[in-house]
Structure formats: C-alpha cells, structure tokens
Structure 1
Amino acid sequence: MLDQAIDHITNGVWKPGELLTPSRELAQQLGVSRSTVQIVYEELLSRGYTVTSRRGGTRINDWNLFAGKQKDGTALPVPPQLPELPRFVDRSQQWFRSKDNRNSVIDFSPYQPYLDVQFQKMWRKSYLNVSSELDLSTWSYGDAYGFEPLCKQIQRYLSLERGIHVQTNQILLTSGAQQSIDLIAQALLTKGDTVSVEDPGYPVAWMTMKYREMKIAPIPVDEYGLVVERVPSEAKLIFVTPAHQCAVGVMLSIPRRQQLLLKAAQQRAWIIEDDYDSEFRYRGDPVPTLYSQLPQNYLYLMSVFLS
C-alpha cells in the first residue's frame, strides 16, 4: 500500500496540494483497518511526500522534484555519470578469470591460487587458531598505519630478501595492486598527465590510470623487457614489472634497468615497480629490485598472501 501511494505521488496521479482521503473513509474503501492507513499516511509524512495542518488535513507536498522538475518548471540538471566504469570492470574481470571454459584440465588464468587439500588444511588450521584469540580490539578500528606486527614482518622480508630497507611507517597495506595504483594516481598525478605502461602489460594498471583521466602511453616489450627509449619525455610516471614481466615473463635486463633509472632521474618521473612475481624463478635467487638500486622517486608494490 505504501509503495502504491508513493508511485501515485511520483508519477503525478496524486497532484501537489491535493488533499488525501481521510483515513477512516479510505480504510472503508479498501477494506482494511484504519490503523493500516494511518501507518501509511505517517510514513508518507515522515518521508516528506505529504504535509499536514490541524485545519487543512494532509496534502501532497507542493514540491515537484518527484516529477523531475523544479518549482519553476525547468528540468533538473542531469547528474554526473562515472566514465566507462562498467566497461573497465568487465575487462578486468575478463583478464582475471574468463567466464567461459571454467572447467579445464590446466587452468592458465592469472592470479588463481592452487587450492589443494594440504592448502585447505593449513588455511582451516590458521583460521581456527586466530579466531580462538579474538577479543574486543579485533572488532574495533585499527591503527591508521596498518597492523604493526604484519608491517614488521613485511619490513623484515623486504630487508632480507629484496634488499629494501624501509621503516614500517613507509609500508602501506592495501587490498591489492589496483587500489595501490589508484591511490598513487590520486596522490602524485593530475588529470591529463602522461603515464607509460608496458605493452603487453598488466591491463588493470592502465585501466585504473585511464579511469583517472591520465594519458596512457603504451611502451613495447621485447626479449630484454621494456623498451626504455620509447618512453616519452613528458611521462610523469612509468609502470613496470622488471622481475617477471606481466604477461610475457621476461626479465628487464641490466642495461635496460640502468637506462630506466637514468631516464626517470632526468625527467623527474615516478616509477612504479610491481614486484608481484619475483620469487618464482627456476634457477638462482630473485633479481635485485630497482628500488634497492635507487629508491628516489620509486614506489614499490609487492603482493602478500596471508594464511
């Protein structure tokens, strides 16, 4: 009944200023109790659809925004729309995991964990251990700098394994690379800045930048990694996956690394080093990070899988 009344008001069936039928009379017409009609009338009043006075009864509010017009009869301004967001979401979903052919012998979809029996046992055991120690502080707001014990473990790993020496307050925990890239774009770039990305490369990186209305400059990748000489001089940021190029898999060669470091310094450009897959190597230790060689103007991304 309430929905029907609101529909009549918003579609102009009940005109602004029109007096509502008295609750007792309407209840008799509809064959319902008077209290039901009174509840509906009270809800219409509380939502602002109607106004009431002691002598004038209850009337439809003379405020015709419901009809899509202002009081002077002019149309309301069209609200802004998010640019191309559904298309970006669909393309990222397609990249992470196609909706077709889910049942395959070998699944080559990127970033999908191998959920064998042993993994599930370890995950279940870890969850039970953590849940048994929950207290009130677990459900309250945490430290703005992140969970300190976790930050310390990440700090230790970065120092020992990747040659990156930072303080815990330099570590920012996000829900993933996409959120990190979006925060970087908001903090360091302005609309229309040029951003260089690998081509082929991580599509979510350039889609996030494009959504923030940056100019995307795709840079080709060969057997030695990013072709640094193709990076435009006006680039304000360069996104690169030097340890294990996404999605070709090559490693950025030492000469190219030195060339990239020099170019970034010369044109005062930021570099995002996505070290997402550096530990997966068939032989030898992981290659040194760009950040460990020259930390100025560098932002380092690393994926952490918690269990």
Structure 2
Amino acid sequence: MPLLDTVLPVTLDRAAGVPLAVQLADALRVAATTGHLRSGDRLPSTRALAKRLGVSRTVTAAAYEQLHAEGWIAGRHGSGTYVTTTPSQGGTDPTVQSVESGEDDELLELIPGMPWAEGIDRAAWRRAWRAAADTPPSQYTHRAGIAGYRAAIAEHLLRHRGLRADTASVLATAGTTSALAELAASVFRAGEVVAVEDPGYQRAVEALRAAGVRVVCVPVDADGIRVEDIPRQAKAVYCSPAHQYPLGSTMSAPRRVALVERARTEGFLVLEDDYDGELRYDVAPLPLLAALAPDVVVHLGTTSKILTPTLGAGWMVAPSPVFSAVLGHRERTGTRPSPAGQRVVGELARNGDLGRHIRRVRRELAERRRMLTATLRAAEVPVLGDDAGAHLLVPLASAEEERERLQRALERGVRLDGLARHFAGPATTHGVAVGYAGCSRQALTGALGTLVEVLAG
C-alpha cells in the first residue's frame, strides 16, 4: 500500500531544534515499529513525499538514505521503495527482514557489491531453471551440497581461479556470510579471537560476532592486511587478498607468504574471501592463498557477484578437519544450503553458459571501468583500486568531506558509498566507493557528469 494512501502520524516541526530529515526518519521508523507501516508496504518517491509534506526533496532523500542504511527500507528496481520490517509480537521492537534490494524509482545505485545481473542471458537463465525443475524430488538431504554443483564448482575453480580442488573437497554454502556463520558455530568457541581487515566486509564481522567470536580489527595498507599487527591469540584471520573490500587493492606476494608462514607457525586459520576474484582485467591474479597453503586456508567463494544473489549459492574449500566440523554441525542442526540455486548453477555450468557469462562480465565491466576512470582522472579526481572488480575508490581528506560528497550525490539522484560504514573500529581513512555494475551502461554514462560534479575537488 502506498504511503500516500495511508494516514500516518508524520508531523514535522520547523521550530524544533531537530533537523527535518531526522524528524521524518524518526516518524517513519516509529510507524514501522507500531504497525502503521507493514513489511512490503510501498513508500512514495522522495519527490512525491516532499510535495505532500511541503519540504524540499533534500529532506526526504536524506531521511530515506538514513532508513536505507539502517535496513528499514529497500529499493526494488523499477518498482519503488518498500518497508522491510514488521513489528515484533510485543509491538515495540522491529525485526529486520532480508529483502531484495536494488535501485528505487528515483535513485541511481552506484554502490559496491552489486553484480551485473542485467547481463545474464535470459534464454540461458530460463533454460537452467527449467532443467533444474525437471530433476525429480529427492528423499535424500545433501548436507555437503548436490554432487553436480560441487563438480561444477571444482571445474570453475580450476578454470577461473587456478585452484585444484576435487569434488569431494568442495562444500556448498549459501554464500560467504552464511559460511562464516557456520565456521564460527562449528570451528571456533565463544570468546576466541578472529582478526579481520579494517576496513572490511562488515556483514562478515557481524556474522562472527553473532556467534560469540571476539573480533579484533587489523589495519590494511596498499599491500593488504598488515600481518605484523595480527594478534598472537588469533584463531583465524579473515581477509580478501585478491581484491580487498572495499579499498580494491591486492595483497602483495611477500605479504601472502608472511601470512601463510605465521598461520602455519602459530596454528591459526586463514579465511580467504574471494568474493569477486574472477573479475580481473589487467593481468592474471596472484595465486589463491588456498593454492599456496591448502593446509591452513579456508577458501570462500560466491555466485552473488558473478551472477546474482538470487541463487544464494556459494562454496567452501577447507582443510579436512574444518570440512568435517562444518558438515558435522549441519548434521547436528539439520541445516544445509538450499539445493535450488545449486541446481541452476550446475545447469549453467553444464551447458557452458556460466563460462560464457563470466567472459561477458569481464568484457563489460572492464569497459565500464576504463570509461569511469578516464572521466574522473580527466577531471583530476584521484582513483584508487586495482583494475579489477566492480567498484573503485575516490580518496578524500576527512570524514566531513566524505559525508558532504555522499549527501551532494543524493541530492542529484545518485547513491554512492562511503568508507566510514566499512570500519568495525574508528574510521582512519576516508573516501567514496563508486560501483559500476548494478545499473545499465546507459545509466552509468548518463551519470558521469554528476559524478564529476560531486567528486571533483
């Protein structure tokens, strides 16, 4: 139900000392908490709501941005902005639900982490789903994953990442965050230390914390995680060596060797998040840590960046004791990743459509990156990050400047991402991350002028 057709207790007081955007965000948050707004309710556009309330669109856009960051609302491509919470049974505390997010009806999402789902061949997509649906229902529960999927991933890792892993060593997962939660529940004990990159992937941090693991932040520089700063009591180190998230750098060869040597000497695990390692455009990536040290490295991968999060399919390649511990945890708890996405990925791989799609993604995103970096550098905007992945970084001098650039972009209808939210500890560097995969080429081209206007000094 659109908000415009619903009577809600939204009153803005211009005489109050609280900014109007904060008042509006508070009012909508209370409406969702008390049940005036329900999960799935469609909100009006920022322009329509601004007209209704008699305020500028800057106010409504800022309120929506805050609620989006908190997880109260999410956009759906071509559809609008929707409430993503439902009140608890007590009617006071909201329960944030996972919903599909993407572009809303006005904001252009240029944020990291979004795949080029538009580039998936629709005929191949439909063919894979039909073939997956033709598989007879099974009476067996495949705790480790469907054999066809595990074989497809083993082949994928060999062809695209240079990792030799037989089918029996591949464990299907529901994605990186889910895999980390399983590792935390089955391999680590509450209170044990896991070191993480800072800045880094905060969903990974929260998955570890939710399991009672003590997270210790380790700084990152141009060569990757600073191995010398990893605490001695660490039981594991979580990192993204192929394309550090969100800084976009690659862990250097000496740093990789040092990390592996410490892991072997001190007996900790290295949790290698290879979230977009297939997307390299200049030279072949350095070997996976799992290829260098399969005895101490847990390799994690996902289809969410090369295909779509819709499938909910990822993988883990781990030393035998870790593999057995995760599988044992699934047996005890009766859990397993959904087989539907696995079957679709298996069919895409069997027909050669997965390989063709990855090659197409590489060509498209390489061209987009060249176009974007050339435009920004011509305007004397500095750009950081390796020639890889689906986002780049524009460094800034201060947190205030970062916030100002993000707000300026919002006012022009573009959502960008700041480094501040990627720190588990205090932010020590500042900048804006620009994603270039989650929209059409036409939309990205049309936004170049806005990006220069927003990011130029």
Deviation (angstroms), 1:153: 1.6
2:166 alignment partner AA: Q
Correspondence 1:72-111 to 2 at 5 A: 103-105=106-108, 107-111=109-113
Deviations 1:128-164 (A, max 9, x none): 3433x34343xx3343332111211211222343332
Deviations 1:206-228 (A, max 9, x none): 11111111211111111111111
Aligned to 2:252: 253
Aligned to 1:25: none
TM-score by length of 1: 0.62
1:148 alignment partner AA: A
Correspondence 1:221-236 to 2 at 5 A: 221-236=220-235
Aligned to 2:276: 277
| In structure 2, C-alpha distance between the alignment counterparts of 1:151 and 1:118, rounded to whole Å | 22
Aligned to 1:177: 176
Structure 2 residue ranges without an equivalent (≥5): 1-92, 308-344, 349-457
Correspondence 1:183-194 to 2 at 5 A: 183-194=182-193
Aligned to 2:217: 218
Q: What secondary structure sits across from 2:106 in the alignment? A: coil
Deviations 1:111-144 (A, max 9, x none): 333343763343223323433x34343xx33433
Which stretch shows the higher mean deviation, 175-184 or 165-174? 165-174
The count of corresponding residues between Structure 1 and Structure 2 is 214
Q: Does 1:156 align with 2:155?
A: yes
In structure 2, do the counterparts of structure 1 residues 276 and 130 end up closer, same or farther at CA, with 3 Å as the change threshold? same
In structure 2, do the counterparts of structure 1 residues 292 and 182 end up closer, same or farther at CA, with 3 Å as the change threshold? same
| In structure 1, C-alpha distance between the alignment counterparts of 2:167 and 2:295, rounded to whole Å | 18
| In structure 2, C-alpha distance between the alignment counterparts of 1:198 and 1:97, rounded to whole Å | 26
In structure 2, do the counterparts of structure 1 residues 116 and 294 end up closer, same or farther at CA, with 3 Å as the change threshold? closer
Aligned to 1:242: 241
| In structure 2, C-alpha distance between the alignment counterparts of 1:241 and 1:283, rounded to whole Å | 19
| In structure 2, C-alpha distance between the alignment counterparts of 1:103 and 1:255, rounded to whole Å | 46
| In structure 2, C-alpha distance between the alignment counterparts of 1:172 and 1:118, rounded to whole Å | 25
Q: Does 1:135 align with 2:140?
A: no
| In structure 1, C-alpha distance between the alignment counterparts of 2:190 and 2:177, rounded to whole Å | 18
Identity of aligned residues (%): 27
| In structure 2, C-alpha distance between the alignment counterparts of 1:261 and 1:104, rounded to whole Å | 43
Aligned to 2:18: none
Aligned to 1:8: none
Aligned to 2:195: 196
- The answer (yes or no) to whether the contact 2:196–2:218 under 8 Å persists in 1 is yes
- The answer (yes or no) to whether the contact 1:197–1:217 under 8 Å persists in 2 is yes
Q: What secondary structure sits across from 1:173 in the alignment? A: strand
Q: What secondary structure sits across from 1:210 in the alignment? A: helix
| In structure 1, C-alpha distance between the alignment counterparts of 2:215 and 2:105, rounded to whole Å | 32
In structure 2, do the counterparts of structure 1 residues 198 and 121 end up closer, same or farther at CA, with 3 Å as the change threshold? same
Q: What secondary structure sits across from 2:218 in the alignment? A: strand
- The answer (yes or no) to whether the contact 1:195–1:214 under 8 Å persists in 2 is yes
In structure 2, do the counterparts of structure 1 residues 102 and 216 end up closer, same or farther at CA, with 3 Å as the change threshold? farther
| In structure 1, C-alpha distance between the alignment counterparts of 2:246 and 2:214, rounded to whole Å | 22
Deviations 1:220-247 (A, max 9, x none): 1111111111111111110010000111
Deviation (angstroms), 1:198: 0.4
In structure 2, do the counterparts of structure 1 residues 97 and 200 end up closer, same or farther at CA, with 3 Å as the change threshold? farther
In structure 2, do the counterparts of structure 1 residues 117 and 190 end up closer, same or farther at CA, with 3 Å as the change threshold? closer
- The answer (yes or no) to whether the contact 1:191–1:213 under 8 Å persists in 2 is yes
- The answer (yes or no) to whether the contact 2:160–2:278 under 8 Å persists in 1 is no
Larger gyration radius, structure 1 or structure 2: 1
- The answer (yes or no) to whether the contact 1:146–1:172 under 8 Å persists in 2 is yes
Structure 1 residue ranges without an equivalent (≥5): 1-85
- The answer (yes or no) to whether the contact 1:199–1:221 under 8 Å persists in 2 is yes
Aligned to 1:125: 127
| In structure 1, C-alpha distance between the alignment counterparts of 2:293 and 2:120, rounded to whole Å | 40
Q: What secondary structure sits across from 2:207 in the alignment? A: helix
Deviations 1:154-186 (A, max 9, x none): 112223433322332221111111111011112
Aligned to 2:320: none
Deviation (angstroms), 1:302: 1.0
Aligned to 1:68: none
Q: What secondary structure sits across from 1:116 in the alignment? A: helix
- The answer (yes or no) to whether the contact 2:184–2:208 under 8 Å persists in 1 is yes
The higher relative CO (CA closer than 8 Å, separation ≥ 6) is in 2
Aligned to 1:302: 301
Q: What secondary structure sits across from 1:265 in the alignment? A: helix
Which stretch shows the higher mean deviation, 109-118 or 184-193? 109-118
| In structure 2, C-alpha distance between the alignment counterparts of 1:128 and 1:161, rounded to whole Å | 26
Deviations 1:226-271 (A, max 9, x none): 1111111111110010000111110001111111111111211111
